[in-house]
């Protein structure tokens, strides 16, 4: 008999069961949610596929008295492995439909390919980072790092699409999908206006700032889209927010205001760096922001986040991207 005790929380007033699925540090876990309804159980964001997560789910379903055939639908907020990864595995075991936005599904194909092999991202991303000054010591780690996620998202599911004009019945409630971007293209959050409950995914997190990444071949202005999405979500009256990471929270608008301020302060800080220097590569900005004591996973996200902020400064006319004879891009304050 398994000795692992699944971390399960019941939020009876809001009709949700939260199952914590283990992740590596620093995130530690992802929040998956179950909603019971007359037509079956909806599972939201099952987590990555690992031996640990499979065991945790087997134990959680046993503890909750849920049979595989009780799960009628699997809903994904976005394509990142810690949310999307087990969808195909669950589909094979339950026969349930898997739902996500069409844009998020496109991004899954861009990042993870369509089968047992990686997409060309394991070549595109190192080349992109090289153009922006990342040293070879980091670049040569990137293909193996990206390929390591294929096992976490295999098998990939057959997907049906959710759009914003398509309210979703999950549990015994009808939820309104809100599609945003920046953290992940095509990201969906789900809002139940009568109760004021929001299932956030990673659009709004209570303690950490969702990563905003500029990725080759994806959205060209991710930070602009992320901030616009936050402002749109802020207009909703939310009593209780259920995020993809950390704990449910109630200070929804205050948290959005803090995230908006965080990115404005970061843009100002990077603009100050550019004004104080002749020019900087994105990698130099990345190291100045996040330090050089990161693992390869954190470095990828840090580099993509630095690039997202530099792209937004360029869009705002506060910075310029300039090519050098060495073939590396550098950024300078626009008034230089």
- pLDDT tens track for 174-209: 999 999 999 999 999 999 999 999 999 999 999 999
27 — pLDDT class (breaks 50, 70, 90) = confident
224 vs 91: CA distance, rounded Å: 35
The share of the chain scoring above pLDDT 90, in percent, equals 84
Q: How far is CA 123 from the centre of its chain?
A: 21
pLDDT at 13 over 50: yes
Tell me what pLDDT residue 6 has: 66
Q: Convert 193-222 to b/e letters by CB count within 10 Å (16 or more is b).
A: eeebbbbbbbbbbbeeebbbbbbbebbebb
Scored b (16 or more CB within 10 A) or e, 116-135 reads eebbebbeebbebbbebbbe
pLDDT in tens, 55-107: 999 999 999 999 999 999 999 999 999 999 999 999 999 999 999 999 999 99
Tell me what pLDDT residue 5 has: 61
The residue with greater pLDDT, 243 or 3, is 243
Q: What is the pLDDT of residue 324?
A: 86
Q: How many residues does the chain have?
A: 336
Question: In terms of DSSP bridges, do strands 168-170 and 319-323 run parallel, antiparallel, or are they unpaired?
Answer: unpaired
pLDDT digits (tens, 9 = 90+) for 265-323: 999 999 999 999 999 999 999 999 999 889 999 999 999 999 999 999 999 999 999 99
* Entry pTM: 0.94
Centre a 10 Å sphere on the Cβ of residue 99 and count the other Cβ atoms it contains: 23
Q: How far apart, in Å, do the first and last CA atoms of the chain sit?
A: 67
């Amino acid at each position: 008999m398994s000795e692992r005790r699944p971390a399960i929380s019941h939020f009876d007033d809001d009709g949700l069961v939260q199952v914590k699925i283990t992740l590596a540090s620093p995130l530690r876990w992802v929040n998956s949610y179950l909603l019971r309804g007359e037509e079956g159980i909806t599972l939201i964001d099952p987590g990555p596929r690992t031996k640990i997560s499979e065991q945790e789910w087997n134990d959680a379903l046993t503890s909750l008295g849920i049979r595989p055939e009780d799960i009628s639908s699997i809903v994904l907020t976005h394509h990142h492995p810690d949310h999307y990864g087990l969808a195909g595995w669950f589909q094979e075991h339950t026969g349930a439909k898997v739902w996500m936005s069409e844009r998020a599904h496109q991004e899954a194909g861009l990042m993870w390919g369509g089968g047992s092999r990686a997409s060309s991202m394991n070549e595109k991303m190192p080349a992109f980072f090289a153009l922006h000054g990342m040293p070879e010591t980091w670049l040569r780690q990137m293909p193996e790092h990206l390929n390591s996620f294929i096992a976490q998202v295999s098998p990939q599911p057959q997907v049906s699409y959710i759009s914003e004009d398509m309210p979703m019945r999950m549990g015994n409630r009808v939820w309104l999908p809100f599609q945003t971007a920046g953290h992940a293209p095509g990201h969906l959050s789900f809002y139940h206006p009568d109760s004021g409950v929001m299932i956030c995914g990673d659009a709004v997190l209570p303690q950490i700032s969702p990563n905003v990444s500029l990725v080759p071949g994806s959205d060209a202005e991710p930070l602009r889209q992320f901030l616009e999405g936050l402002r749109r979500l802020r207009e909703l009256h939310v009593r209780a927010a259920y995020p993809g990471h950390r704990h449910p929270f109630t200070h929804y608008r205050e948290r959005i205001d803090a995230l908006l301020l965080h990115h404005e302060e970061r843009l100002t800080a990077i603009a100050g760096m550019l004004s104080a220097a002749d020019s900087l590569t994105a990698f130099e900005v990345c190291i100045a922001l996040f330090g050089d004591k990161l693992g390869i996973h954190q470095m990828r996200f840090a580099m993509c986040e630095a690039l997202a902020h530099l792209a937004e400064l360029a869009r705002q006319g506060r910075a310029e991207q300039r090519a050098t004879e060495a073939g590396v891009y550098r950024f300078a304050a626009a008034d230089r």
